Chains A and B, each alone.
Chain A
């Protein structure tokens, strides 16, 4: 039976990918201007645009170009950028590695911190610890990330001079210390952004299970508070927690445009923004697929976690 579930998930994922690629394509088509016009900018006289379009093969209908990209993608070929004629795979690969590095380091730090704070807050609900955590998370949620990022640059780079203002070059930092320094501020900013959500969801999910009769039963039977939370309540709360984590982390690949901009970090989010502003269809589609795939992967992982942790869902 679980096999069927997994297959069903996979089928849905592939269908979602196709729908997303069509949606992104149509959205791109709605944008004013095409790549020839954008490339020529102010110098776009009708003759120049027509000449360039012809030279680039843009005179074919857009839908045909899209379909040929889609079939190429299915064969594993991401196509060639309209704008600089480099292979999209080359353009994306370096940036994707950077993004995954940043996302990975942020995950390694934010998930344990968020889980322990969230579970702790639920365990000692109403205590000063819980209150401090709640106040902190709410204030962090309310502060936009450009503010956190800019403030941290002002404090740690400009005033104190401890850290570099740009994480640009973090990707080729040689020593561990240099890497730590380069990644410190973007990771702290992102941890602020994603942890708050995870902490609140974890706390809520654990509290909800604590309130169920069987946990109360465990307590009545003499289980310690710690044992009650970790052994009885937590496994049942894992599903919603995994979902909250997946939702927060899915943001780390495509949604970090502000952090990439402020710290000048060369990741895929900026690549997508560039691609949209130059109407570079193959690059837009490839980035969209990457975001969609990473999102689906995380959601599927969360689902599987939920299924495995909760026997009732297996049926």
Chain B
């Protein structure tokens, strides 16, 4: 029995493990632990345990049962249509992408052998040879061309259609080489290929009742809204993995039921638990939690082109009024990182660490509200359970407003139809954004003047220019400095307030090894099945 300080829980273990995975040194961690009142000796033993958990050796065999949080008859094996966790998990198990992102957010090759360009506009993709689909067909250039071109067809209903729109020419050069020409330079193309929607399917596939991919698992059964079953692909092209003999993935929508199934040993992985259930699991034998931050957030959007957001002082006041620390501590119960009103989280290699979050300052807020002439006017904020924790956040912001005489009203609306009826439309409303791998995707999706999801209707020519410059540049240092400046711009000028990046909390049986954080989302960017193992 290792000695642990009082109040030390499984959650803290997970946090320390997560920091080690991210590359924090032993010295950094000891300093941090001692600062929070943990003694030297105790700190050392904690780190030893955490190191052990991180550096375990893989074991082969076993069938993993994992449960996600949402599943319905809309579940699909069509990567272009994939929209929820369950789809992503299935796609990652049965298919492969040209590239993938590792834990540090760096691009690694998967089906591609090399991806080359001279001007970030014309790209040449060389494929690995000897890769076969589950039905025995060899992977060739036609498959990649077909998979990419599908996104441009509106009848497919691709979720990545906007992203794929920049590929003006997709053609085969030889059996293992594909050429992609973009309408404008974009140095991020290899990262874009790592997104779940760009999984490679066999040329001509139209039937998605079963998956035929190159992935680590062969699809045994797929019933939308019920489950998917995969068994190990004996001809997998990677030398390592998968370690599991097979898996069964399904969803348990009710968080309590998911925790109970985990506690009773019916499942090995229960994804996305809420902070309350994590408390339930703390100290229970046989289960652990994995807490990772990959950049999803719930934000408060104030449209700059309508009342009251058109008054700059109102927006400024709101930025001082939102108590980011209170939101992180009380609503998200510590399972979050405080945000600084820009969308690039610390999990991303372009994150600007010098940009500090604005401190909660009711006096300054009051001053700005008075200047805007809106102090005392009733302002509705639209919140809904569709945007995670937004109702709680709205309530806390409302209470802070009350203390300085600012009347904010919480308009709680049903989650059904929230994204088409309120999001982007109401003057003051909440949004919920999933992690995206590159600053360019986030900025062009959310902040560029012509961005389809420009939540606050932020418009800046300078910003648009900087975005294009960074996108077309192959010089890493230059890109980093531009992205740092852009983060500062949106934090100060746009009408979106991002109080915190919400952590993904997954419950694991202690038999599961190899789970790590990934910038593409929870469950190792949903590709955990290929990398985890089951200890007997």
| Chain A contacts to B: CB under 8 angstroms | 31-33, 36-45, 47-48, 50-52, 54-55, 81, 83-84, 86, 91, 94, 150, 153-154, 157-158, 161, 164-166, 168, 261-264, 266, 270-271, 274-275, 277-278, 280, 283
Contact = CB atoms under 8 A, between A and B. Distances in A.
Interface in B150-164: 154-157, 159, 161-162
B161 A271 contact: no
Interface string B281-319: 000000000000000000000000000000000000000
B50 to A, nearest CB: 27
Contact of A278 (B67, B74, B162, B252): B74
A60 to B, nearest CB: 16
A263 to B, nearest CB: 8
A39 B73 contact: no
B256 interface: yes
Contacts of B253: 261
A158 B417 contact: no
Contacts of B223: 94, 266
B83 A280 contact: no
Nearest to B452: A45
B248 to A, nearest CB: 9
Nearest to B259: A158
25 contacts: A31-B416, A31-B417, A32-B420, A33-B417, A33-B420, A39-B74, A40-B157, A41-B83, A42-B423, A44-B419, A47-B154, A51-B155, A51-B157, A83-B73, A84-B75, A84-B76, A86-B224, A157-B261, A161-B265, A166-B267, A264-B250, A264-B252, A264-B261, A277-B72, A277-B416
Contacts of A41: 83, 159, 419
A150 B265 CA distance: 16
B416 A157 contact: no
Nearest to B416: A32
A299 to B, nearest CB: 29
Contacts of B417: 31-33
Nearest to B418: A32
Contacts of A38: 74
Contacts of A37: 420
Contacts of B75: 84
B106 interface: no
B264 A278 contact: no
A200 to B, nearest CB: 30
5 A-B pairs with least C-beta separation: A51-B154, A32-B417, A55-B155, A274-B72, A157-B264
Interface centre among B263, B420, B453 (most CB of A within 10 A): B420
B238 to A, nearest CB: 30
B354 interface: no
Contacts of B453: 42
A131 B257 CA distance: 35
B228 to A, nearest CB: 13
Contact of A55 (B83, B154, B256, B266): B154
Interface in B246-277: 250-254, 256-257, 260-261, 263-267
B264 A261 contact: no
B76 A36 contact: no
Contacts of A81: 73
A45 B75 CA distance: 21
A250 B518 CA distance: 48
B421 interface: yes
Interface string B407-422: 0000000001101110
B60 interface: no
Contact of A32 (B73, B161, B421): B421
Contacts of A157: 260-261, 263-264, 266
Given A48-B157, A51-B157, A278-B74, A165 B266 contact: yes
A134 B172 CA distance: 77
Given A166-B252, A266-B225, A274-B225, A39 B257 contact: no
A48 B260 CA distance: 41
A174 B156 CA distance: 40
A32 B421 CA distance: 8
Contacts of A39: 74, 81, 83, 157
Given A44-B419, A83-B73, A52 B155 contact: yes
A1 B420 CA distance: 58
Contact of B264 (A44, A91, A164): A164
A158 B81 CA distance: 37
Interface in B55-104: 67, 72-76, 81, 83
B173 interface: no
B226 interface: yes
A264 B266 CA distance: 12
A264 B161 contact: no
B129 interface: no
Contacts of A277: 72, 416
B209 interface: yes
B260 A154 contact: yes
B73 A278 contact: yes
B260 A264 contact: no
A157 B260 CA distance: 8
A150 B256 contact: yes
Contacts of A54: 154-155
B414 to A, nearest CB: 9
A81 to B, nearest CB: 7
Contacts of B83: 39, 41, 43
Contact of B73 (A43, A44, A275): A275
A266 B265 CA distance: 20
Interface in B189-238: 209, 223-227
Contacts of A47: 154
B260 A52 contact: no
Nearest to B417: A32
B250 A40 contact: no
A263 B73 CA distance: 18
Contacts of A150: 256-257, 260
Nearest to A276: B416
A165 B72 contact: no
B157 A52 contact: yes
Contacts of B260: 150, 153-154, 157-158, 165
B81 A91 contact: no
A208 B209 CA distance: 58
Interface centre among B225, B253, B416 (most CB of A within 10 A): B225
A38 B261 CA distance: 30
